[in-house]
Each structure stands twice: as C-alpha cells, then as structure tokens.
A and B are shown apart, each in its own frame.
Chain A
C-alpha cells in the first residue's frame, strides 16, 4: 500500500520538475482569473458564484490535460515495463498514478485561493462575506476533479500518444459534463437519468452547500469505475 504513496509522490515530483506543468497550471490560473474577474467587474458585485460555475468548465479541459501523460508517457518511453515489474499490484500502480494527477490538480486549485481573499476584500464592510458556499464550492471542485482526473487517467492508459489521450479524456469529460444539458430535450423519465449521470448537476448541489451522500456517492462511483477500467487496461497490456 505504501507503493501508492511512492508512485504518487514520484509523479508529482516529476511533474513539478517539468516546464510543461507550469505552463499548463499557469494557463489554467490565467484563464480562470481572467474570465472570473472580467465578469466580476461587469456585474459589479463581489461573489464567488461565477467562479464556481467557470471552474468546472475549465477543468473539463485541464483535468485531461494534466493527466494525459500519466500512463501514455510511460508506455512511450518504455518505463511502464519497469513500473509493472515492481512487486506491487496493478491497482496500486493505478491508484498511485491517480493520486499523483489529483495532487497536481489540487495544487492548481490551491493557487486560486487568493482569488477568494481578494473577493472577500472587495466586499463592502457593512456586508459580511459568506464563506459557506466557498467551502462547498471547493469541496465540489475536489470531487469533480477526482472524476475528471480518473477519466484522463483511463484515456492515458489507452494509448502511447499523449495528444490522443488528451482528446479521449476531454471527450469523456465533456460527455459527462454536458449530459444534463440535453436532458431538457428528453422525456421526463429519461431526463432524470441524464441528470443523475451529469457531473455538473451533482457539482451544483455540492456548490450550493448541500452535502448529499448521493452526490458524493456519484463522484466516488464514476471515479472508481474509471480507475477499474484503467486497471483492466494495464492488465491487458500484459497479455
């Protein structure tokens, strides 16, 4: 089980040693900051609501972008063979990779915390800033990121090519992100299913500050399913 920690740590170290990481994280923060603050001043009302509706959309891109390398790169360079030759189980490798990628996304999200404080600072003295939705929003983002990283990881296990991995991961994320948007076109009984499958709908619940076990269970299950299939893909490369 320690292996999971070792792999995740190595992954994060390697990532933070490469310039690509800083470019991707930098672009993420820039986009988020730009879209957020530009609309913020447009409305002229200090709130984080916009931030939490923008962040998931950006994560649809940046989740797969940050996790595309996780397995694809090792397949390309051949190091996957050494990795899979260590005396550890395949699912430990997958979990290590997952937490490595998730850790990077968490670091990216940590860098957005200053945004919160700057907004809190913009709130007029006589109104107090409500941190409740902010905490809910971040919690929601964490769960949402975990599923996007898991999708990205699954995509990364399918190919040697990081760009292909990104595209597959992106499509998976977009699918689960947009599925509730088509729900309105469906008959009511169907719409329910579509909405249940949607990453965004569950996020909205958590971000509102409603911690429902169904939402958490939803994220946990899609993350688990993606990681399960990733493990299957690793096993297949041994056949």
Chain B
C-alpha cells in the first residue's frame, strides 16, 4: 500500500454504505496523498460512485469515516465540500441556462467574492476551452462541450481535490483524448480521484490505481506494479539443426525440467517448421535457463518472448466471480 507522507487529502476508514438491504460498500479503507492522480476502477455496481458521493458530502455513510484534508465529511460537511470539485456521473447540468449564466451561478454558490468572480470564471473557461460556447444554452451543446462545462464548474473555485466520476464516458475518441489531457493538466496542481471503465485510460493518466470489487478494495498499486506481478507466460519456438529431427515430446520434457517452470503446453496452430510452446512460471523469470537448456540440447532458438500481462487481465483476475 502506498502511504501518504504528510496529511492525506483523502482519508477513508472502514467506510460502509447500505441502501436498505443492498450493501454497496463493505468496509473501505484508503488514503490519497497530495498531488496523486488516482484511478478508481471496478466493475459495474462495485461501489465507485457511492464512495465518491460520500466523499463529496452528498451521501451519508452507514458507518465509518471519511476526511478531506483532515476535515470530517459528515461532522463538518460544509467545510469539507469547499475543498472539493466534483464531476458527477452523467454530468447533470441545467440545460436551460447559458454556459456563462451557469458558471456565474456556480461561482456564487461557491462563495467566490464578487471581485474575483469574473477572473476565476474566465480562468476556468480558458482552461476548459469553453471560449466558443460561453453564450450558448447548455442544452444545445455537444457532449464534449457539456463535459467541459462539467469540468469548469468543478474547478472554478480552485479546489485542491477533484473527484471525477467517469469523466470520459460517452465521448468520441478525439474528445476522450482532449479530456484526458485536460485531466493530466489539472492533475499537475491538484489531487485527482477519477473512476473509469477504460483501463488503458487509468494506466496512462493515473499514478496509482485502486480497484474495488463488490464494495471491497482488492488492489491498490501503481499501474506498473499491477501489470508486473509474479509469474507469467513465455512463448518459445525451437527448431532442430539442419538435417536433424525434433519432436514435441523432446522439447516438452526439456523445458519442463527447468526449475520454476510450472506448465508447458505445445501450440498446435504453429505452422512454420519447429516447435512452439507456452511456458508458464510462478516466480522468477526463467528465460535465461530456457536459453541455456536449448543451447545445450543443440537446438536452435527461433523465438522467445514474455507475454505482457495487461491491466485487463489483472482486473479480470481480481474482479471475476
């Protein structure tokens, strides 16, 4: 687990939330330190939005505590809310309002002093690239621009913490990329907690990933660590020397005798000459030993590569059943 050095921006302890008989979160504990961009992953219904709604002070947890900058979100809800910018799932907005009108309303509700309001609204408009649409009704905007309005209302009061619930869902690939770079830009100054179903997005945008499943935390690590766990699979192709012969059985026996190898399986679809194998291992990477073995058996090593574990595979392993 990653530990925050100074006071954490988010501190969640034993958080529990039930909707009647539905237990949405079943005891969550984690902390997020200043400046981190944290990806919040989990299958549908895992409890991501519920957790976020508790952090933003909208929902009351059933038990447990949550603190934002050390402020309890239940006991000092109003104070805690001041430090948060929140983009809710589905980004609900007042469609009948103009972008400018809406941001003015948000700035008022965020208690930005009148003298600074204009300046801070302009800044948010600029950062989110809303310039061309400030005078339009929100109802007529494209989904990409709506999302930018959602971002602008979340950052106008310059909060330290941004909570983004599926910020790129429903956008076209171009918009997704632009919104991601916006998140990256904002993440330079702010702490960000964002949920997403696009794992590559979490991998490329976040410095840390939390995976929850069925209301419980099942992983908390950097994207790199999550894709480099112990064990894996190596793909090997071996060929006989000129004029010699080679059977699958021979190769299988040789490879299986290597220390640390747990499983060897021939790949039957392999078409070229030679024998292809999948070699499974559980601890140390055995590629050096495989190479030695093949050389000493007087065969030719045509190909050898380690199969990358994707975040998808880790995710599937942690959240299946």
Task: Flag the segment in A76-84, A144-152, A215-223, A225-233 that touches B.
Answer: A76-84
Total residues of chain A contacting the partner, CB 8 A: 22
CB of A17 within 8 A of CB of B96, answer yes
Closest residue of chain A to B83 (Cβ to Cβ) is: A87
Distance (Å) between the CB of B108 and the closest chain A CB?
A: 4
Residues of B141-155 whose CB lies within 8 A of A: 153
Total residues of chain B contacting the partner, CB 8 A: 28
Distance (Å) between the CB of A93 and the closest chain B CB?
A: 10
Question: A238–B58 Cα gap in the complex (Å)?
Answer: 6
Task: Flag the segment in A2-10, A105-113, A119-127, A191-199 that touches B.
Answer: A2-10
CB of B88 within 8 A of CB of A239, answer no
B105 proximal to A (CB < 8 A) = yes
Distance (Å) between the CB of B89 and the closest chain A CB?
A: 8
Instruction: Select which of A7, A13, A81, A87 is within 8 A of B88 by beta carbon.
Output: A81
Question: A197–B82 Cα gap in the complex (Å)?
Answer: 43
Chain B residue contacts of A7, Cβ below 8 A? 109
B92 proximal to A (CB < 8 A) = yes
B160 proximal to A (CB < 8 A) = no
Chain B residue contacts of A78, Cβ below 8 A? 88, 90, 92
CB of B108 within 8 A of CB of A2, answer yes
Chain A residue contacts of B109, Cβ below 8 A? 3, 6-7, 86-88
Chain A residue contacts of B111, Cβ below 8 A? 2, 87
CB of B59 within 8 A of CB of A88, answer no
A49 proximal to B (CB < 8 A) = no
Distance (Å) between the CB of B272 and the closest chain A CB?
A: 57
CB of A82 within 8 A of CB of B88, answer yes
Instruction: Select which of A6, A14, A81, A88 is within 8 A of B92 by beta carbon.
Output: A81
A18 proximal to B (CB < 8 A) = yes
A89 proximal to B (CB < 8 A) = yes
Question: A239–B109 Cα gap in the complex (Å)?
Answer: 23
CB of A86 within 8 A of CB of B97, answer no
Chain A residue contacts of B96, Cβ below 8 A? 14, 17-18
B residues at A contact (CB < 8 Å):
53, 56-60, 78-79, 81-82, 84, 86, 88, 90, 92-97, 101, 105-106, 108-111, 153
Show 13 residue pairs from A and B whose CB-CB distance is below 8 angstroms, ordered by the A residue.
A3-B108, A6-B105, A7-B109, A79-B92, A81-B88, A82-B86, A82-B92, A82-B153, A85-B56, A85-B57, A85-B84, A87-B109, A87-B111
